[in-house]
Chains A and B, each alone.
Chain A
Amino acid sequence: MNFLLNGVPTEVAAHPMARLLDVLREVCGLTGTKEGCGEGECGACTVLLNGEPVCSCLVPVSQVAGSEVLSIEGLRGEHPLQALFMSEVGAQCGICTPGMILTALSVPSVPTLDDVKTALAGNLCRCTGYPAIYRAVMKWRAAEPAK
């Protein structure tokens, strides 16, 4: 099975129905993608599949053949949202943070608060109650509108 993982052509040997989540964590060794519920409800395992956020616990790896997958490691710690999630305390315990950040990448370039809430509605956070996450996302967009 071949796909583009964080920009790198990748070949994995895995059962076609293996969860993308498990392949990323156990075959590729990328443990930044977290399992929170295993049923697509919490969003902790979110990755971008051809640019769209998906729950990697619900995606059989065979579905990503020939596609582009971006996991949190693909941002290499260089994306401004990553620092903002820490400084604005959008991350407390941090377990939802990788998925939350990847989902947040899809908010519109000049978002309203409602846009941010709608974009993140599939990602649960139990620590922050969300306002600090909004602050991080709004600061990022204010400083760096999408092209």
Chain B
Amino acid sequence: MSQVSAVGRSVARKDGIGKATGAARYADDLVFPGMLHGRTIRSTIPCGRIRSIRFAFDPAGFTIVDYRDVPDRNVVDLIAQDQPYLVEQEVRHLAEPILLLAHEDRDKLAAARVEIEYDEAPPLFDPEQSSHVFKAIDIVKGNAAAALAGADQVIEGTYRTGHQEHIYIEPNGVIAVPEDGGVTIHGSVQCPFYVIKAVRCLLGPGRPVRVIQTETGGGFGGKEEYPSMLAGHAAMLALKSGRPVKLVYDRGEDMVATTKRHPSIVRHRTGVTKDGRLVAMEVEVILDGGAYVTLSPVVLSRGCIHAAGPYRCDDISIRGRAVFTNTPPNGAFRGFGAPQTEFAVEVHMDRIAEALGMDPVELRRLNALRPGDTMATGQTLREDASAHLVLDAAVRRTDFTRKREEYRGSNRGIGLSLFYHGAGFTGSGERTLKSRARLVLTPTGVRIAVGSTEIGQGTRTMHAQIVTDALGIPYEDVEVAQPDTSRVADSGPTVASRTCMVVGKILEECALEMKQQLGGLAPAEYYARHGALTVERMYEPPDWIQWDDDTYRGDAYATYGWGCDVAELEVDPDTFEVRPLKLTTVQEFGRPIHPALARGQIEGGTVQGLGYALLERVVMKNGAMANAQLTNYAIPTTLDTPEIDVVMLTNPYPGGPFGAKGLGELPMDGPAPAIVNALRHLGFDVREIPATPELLAAVPTIP
């Protein structure tokens, strides 16, 4: 059976043509007999207690659910069990779910008025004033205080990033269908096994739960944890009414009520020698977690681990905290804490270069990590570390040094950022997770049966390529099952740049084992002679990974992707509008399994980073998003997006399938600091994003 290999080629995608013909079925496209529509009644205050609830409508024909209808436990089961599905008394944030309504007529549902009276309490909005700490992290390497005292120069700075809203073009939506005394959830979700765990906790024993992922119109982390809330709500309405219930948010509700990227405040104190070596780094990281814990501890963890940047320094102290405020909980968003802290360190590096009168490239060359160097957690980097590779390639490709001189004095600026991103769960996370993958022989080939979801990034295709080559069969003979918790193995959540590197690896091992069992027969031949065959395997992280969750010492990630972004832009001297001219991004992520899909991840992530840097401002009023409309929360359009020059470099990771590392999040880390450093090159002392025209008009200029 000889054939051209699938890995490394942009083969036909397993999605088929449905996304381009309208035939692909998303949650809102599904209709079930007797289906009702659901609606969530939410708090209109950020902090206080409910005094009374009055229904100002005729309840005939409505299904009404409040906290007393919770079958078992009124908590969304995640890291902490602090967030209720429905408010009982205490309101912690605006737009918090209090009641659920369902009706078959959407107009009647929308017209129903519920009057809620509250006893308001003073809200807390400023994370720096919050003493309610969800999680604190202390990473210590050497003695930063002593090293700072001995430094030739100390450079300090405070950097801020705002909320960012995901704007997946398909808002959150699920349908709950009563089945066998329990429910089946059909929904737009990233993590079907998160949803099943949370809904089981809500419904209690004896009520079977099944979760089926529908075609999903984008996620970016925004459909990691929030769908558990939505699914629980729909499940309660379905159980009480005995009918299928569709709960689909409109854009405004999705923007106000669901999670966003954590706003951050990051403070740096860095000691350097006069020739530019980093000798001490003190970093303080504050993340605004919002009103409940949700995923804040792990977002903080990834943020802190990346906070010292891709640089070598013997004495580092990183102290982080994620804190409570009376705002809707912030959550997972592509990059997961790293875009915030890498923004801070990369802008800080350009300020260090300024202070020393050094070229920003030279400063980075002097300090960037190499194989054999140790990071803040004490992890020693292996041969698959490519900071210098990407930096040199980006500088050469953009003619950075010449342009940096040439643009001086014009209204054109150029800046760069050097960044990295750990792939997979942090530390011992993958060991604890015990992900599984399954490969099933079919009469015509094999079927991949994993819970990893296709949300646009190419899961189906990339997994099929890996199995194709490991098994040595035609690509066409590999099919991919729709994630359905009753039919696929729990391969862990589709997050953390782990779907290719970790789940792909288990699938590769399944395929190799199956190949051995087939004994030289083609799958169809084997099936005809011997019948069904299933191989299931669990993920084994590399045996050298050591990690201590208490001390934050050890190998934080099995491997890292590396990137260098260069931004070229102009600023209108009258309106302060920024016009990006070109973004060059050089990234090393092992090797691309499907080059066209990988390029799509890089281009798409880079443009999300561009929006984060310049356009996407969440305006908070009374603790919630005031500009919850696409009219006044602007994401990049075609006209905001410059040419993007993508370079994909190879440095295989031996623990990944065919050498691949994770890629999904890496592209998000670099654009914001590169753009802000280009603005610095133009003389704008920007230390926060988004760098809107209003901000640029207000910031000091650099002489």
Check A42 against B169 for contact (C-beta < 8 Å).
yes
Question: Is B472 interfacial (CB-CB < 8 Å)?
Answer: no
Given contacts A34-B217, A93-B218, A121-B638, contact A129 B606 (CB under 8 A): yes
Complex interface: chain A residues within 8 A of B603 (CB): 128-132
- For the complex, what is the distance from the CA of A42 to the CA of B255, rounded to whole Å? 14
Complex interface: chain A residues within 8 A of B19 (CB): 85-86, 91, 93-94, 97
- For the complex, what is the distance from the CA of A130 to the CA of B642, rounded to whole Å? 10
Complex interface: chain B residues within 8 A of A125 (CB): 169
Interface segment out of the listed B20-28, B324-332, B497-505: B20-28
Q: How far is the CB of B57 from chain A (nearest CB, A)?
A: 21
Check B456 against A127 for contact (C-beta < 8 Å).
yes
Question: Is A63 interfacial (CB-CB < 8 Å)?
Answer: no
A-facing residues in B565-612 (Cβ within 8 Å): 596-597, 599-600, 603-608
Check B597 against A44 for contact (C-beta < 8 Å).
no
A-B contacts at CB below 8 angstroms, number = 174
Check A118 against B20 for contact (C-beta < 8 Å).
no
Check A95 against B251 for contact (C-beta < 8 Å).
no
Q: How far is the CB of B598 from chain A (nearest CB, A)?
A: 9
B-facing residues in A10-41 (Cβ within 8 Å): 25, 30-39, 41
Proximity bits, A105-119, B CB within 8 Å = 1, else 0: 000000000001110
Check B17 against A126 for contact (C-beta < 8 Å).
no
- For the complex, what is the distance from the CA of A82 to the CA of B24, rounded to whole Å? 13
B-facing residues in A65-83 (Cβ within 8 Å): 71-73, 75-77, 81-83
Interface size in chain A (residues, C-beta < 8 A): 53
Proximity bits, A28-64, B CB within 8 Å = 1, else 0: 0011111111110110100000000000000000000
Question: Is B168 interfacial (CB-CB < 8 Å)?
Answer: yes
Given contacts A30-B22, A33-B22, A39-B631, contact A124 B218 (CB under 8 A): no
Tell me if B's interface is mostly helix, strand, loop or mixed.
Answer: loop
Question: Is B641 interfacial (CB-CB < 8 Å)?
Answer: yes
Closest to B29 in A: A31
Check A97 against B455 for contact (C-beta < 8 Å).
no
A-facing residues in B485-520 (Cβ within 8 Å): none
Closest to B610 in A: A129
- For the complex, what is the distance from the CA of A83 to the CA of B218, rounded to whole Å? 20
- For the complex, what is the distance from the CA of A44 to the CA of B635, rounded to whole Å? 14
Complex interface: chain A residues within 8 A of B166 (CB): 126
Q: How far is the CB of B9 from chain A (nearest CB, A)?
A: 12
A-facing residues in B1-55 (Cβ within 8 Å): 10, 12-13, 15-26, 28-29
Q: How far is the CB of A114 from chain B (nearest CB, A)?
A: 9
Check A91 against B20 for contact (C-beta < 8 Å).
yes
Check B604 against A38 for contact (C-beta < 8 Å).
no
- For the complex, what is the distance from the CA of A38 to the CA of B106, rounded to whole Å? 15
Complex interface: chain B residues within 8 A of A126 (CB): 166-169, 218, 220, 604, 608, 635
Complex interface: chain A residues within 8 A of B23 (CB): 32, 77
- For the complex, what is the distance from the CA of A97 to the CA of B22, rounded to whole Å? 8
Complex interface: chain B residues within 8 A of A73 (CB): 21-22
Q: Which 6 A-B pairs have the closest CB atoms?
A: A32-B22, A94-B19, A95-B217, A93-B456, A129-B607, A92-B456
17 A-B contact pairs sorted by A residue (CB < 8 Å): A36-B170, A36-B171, A41-B630, A72-B21, A76-B21, A86-B19, A89-B458, A89-B599, A91-B15, A91-B20, A94-B19, A95-B168, A98-B21, A120-B638, A121-B637, A123-B638, A124-B167
